[in-house]
Structure 1
Amino acid sequence: MNPKSRREQIQQLVEEQGKVEIDQLTEALQVSHMTVRRDLALLEEEQKLIRTHGGAVLPKALVKETPYVSKETKELQAKRSIAEKAVSIVGQGATILVDSGTTTLEIVRLLKNREDVTIITNDIKIAAELVDAKPRCIVTGGEVQPKVGALYGAHAYDLLRSIHVDLFILGAHAVHSHVGVTAPTLEKAKMKQLMIQAAEQTWLVCDSSKFNEKSFAHVCELHEVEGLVTDDRLSDTELEEFHQNCVKAPL
């Protein structure tokens, strides 16, 4: 196969699947990793895809970081509906990691009277919400992300590596049935990955506007989460597709 045909086949696979892995391409095309990386670099220069860690995704659907003030009231009713469902997965006496975000903030607001739970978070706004509340609150520490309020960096990574919790409530910028959960930055993706590793179970919570979207940095595959909690605006077909990739059915 000549280089032009090979790159056309790569582009076709990306368009069909939304995401491709280098190992997958080397096997399908019977070429070396170096050849695939060179092809991906050329296709990225032509703006036909965006390279990610270990592969590539379509460029047109990447979701960027959103400042807190821009998302605070967006999809608010859906987020509150999700929160009402999500609190049912927080067991008696649970120790939980709560991801940064406005959907997770709504969940925490419903947990404020739970004396039995311990909440660990990487979000300064969630921590502020718990200042006068009943749950025990632990903050990961780290550098504050400007205009967002999320924490990340070496101090946060060290804490997450040193703990083990019952539950991680994972927020998402973008969720795709084939690509999985993605985040706008590598730092944010790493925080989420360390939280997943620290928890017995991970539940994904996000409103339906985040589905069928992709962002820059890979967090996890859908089969790595126990289940997902979302609103009621996804079609039965879409729910079934995501359900097939999760361990449990959506709530």
Structure 2
Amino acid sequence: MSGTSKGARSREQRQQRIVDHVLNQGSASASELTELVGVSLMTVHRDLDELVRRGLLRKFHGGVSAQPSTVFEGSSEYRMGAQRSQKEAIARTALTLVEPGGSILLDDSTSALAVARLLADIGPLTVATNYLPAIEVLKQLPEVHLICLGGNYSATHDSFLGLPCIEAVGALSVDMAFLSTSAMNATMTYHQEHELVQVKRAMLAAAETNVLLMDSSKMPRKALHRMAPLSDYDRLVIDDGADEELVAAARDVIPTMIAPIES
């Protein structure tokens, strides 16, 4: 192996250690990461700049974070590890809405991915999604007719976005869409990134029934962009850790299902 190849491999391994550490801890300082990987502070800052450019982490004064903010959605890898029991509970409850022979649309949320993982025993189904992890799950299910919604690949979200994806969604008319977003209050849903807002709005328009999947960590919160009023959805599924006042207010707008979290 050439020196250049060895150096590239070493950099990849070091950056993966940094990402794994920040994903596990939520955030870390540059000096902490310097000690972790055993290189200079300047090298760590170069690594962090590259990881931020790739959308895996975000910088703040004094350190780096994998956690979402009002303007930054966590990477797909981070979101997969967050609120797992809540998302699994929400998926189990949402699954009761799915009927064999129907067509459903899944967005690139990890909540919708949790639904995809439960579809093996419900078929036949037609399922469309732009989320690569969901595609990997669904392609193995013989009773699922899978429609892959292509577009511009985003490594941060591990999904396909942009105008090609919006046009692909616009060509569909499905029975039900399962969507999630980064934040909500009693009247509005929000997301940090305009590009994802556009795709999710197209999905809302493509389905007869829209189901909003929201774990309790996302409420009540706001993000940079308004996505859609709560009234634009037909049903809300949330876990039983949600704020009681918000649940009561949401029920005044749309039917709301409470998902019990199994211990």
- Calculate the TM-score normalised by the size of structure 2: 0.69
Contact 1:63–1:173 (Cα < 8 Å) also in 2: no
Cα offset, 1:69, TM superposition: 1.7
Cα offset, 1:150, TM superposition: 2.0
Contact 1:243–1:250 (Cα < 8 Å) also in 2: no
In the other structure, the counterpart of 2:147 is 138
Which amino acid is 1:108 matched to? A
Which amino acid is 1:250 matched to? M
- Calculate the TM-score normalised by the size of structure 1: 0.72
Contact 1:121–1:138 (Cα < 8 Å) also in 2: yes
Contact 1:113–1:133 (Cα < 8 Å) also in 2: no
Aligned length: 189
Task: Please give the alpha-carbon distance, in whole angstroms, between the structure 1 residues aligned to 2:72 and 2:221.
Answer: 11
The runs of 5 or more residues in structure 2 that have no matched partner are: 1-68, 259-263
The DSSP-based 3-state class of the residue aligned with 2:122 is coil
In the other structure, the counterpart of 2:193 is 185
Percent identical among aligned pairs is 24
In the other structure, the counterpart of 1:42 is none
In the other structure, the counterpart of 2:39 is none
Task: Please give the alpha-carbon distance, in whole angstroms, between the structure 2 residues aligned to 1:114 and 1:175.
Answer: 30
Matched, 1:166 2:190: no
Contact 2:71–2:193 (Cα < 8 Å) also in 1: no
Cα offset, 1:73, TM superposition: 1.6
The DSSP-based 3-state class of the residue aligned with 2:250 is helix
Q: 206, 215, 231: which one pairs with 2:239? A: 231
In the other structure, the counterpart of 2:77 is 69
In the other structure, the counterpart of 1:250 is 257
Cα offset, 1:161, TM superposition: 1.4
Which amino acid is 2:133 matched to? K
Stretches (4+) displaced over 4 A: none
Task: Please give the alpha-carbon distance, in whole angstroms, between the structure 2 residues aligned to 1:78 and 1:115.
Answer: 25
Task: Please give the alpha-carbon distance, in whole angstroms, between the structure 2 residues aligned to 1:219 and 1:92.
Answer: 30
Cα offset, 1:63, TM superposition: 5.2
Contact 1:63–1:174 (Cα < 8 Å) also in 2: no
Contact 1:239–1:250 (Cα < 8 Å) also in 2: no
In the other structure, the counterpart of 2:108 is 100
RMSD of aligned Cα (Å): 1.4
In the other structure, the counterpart of 1:88 is 96
State the Cα deviation string for residues 163-201 of structure 1 (Å, max 9, x = none).
1000010111111113x1111111100101100111101
Task: Please give the alpha-carbon distance, in whole angstroms, between the structure 1 residues aligned to 2:194 and 2:202.
Answer: 12
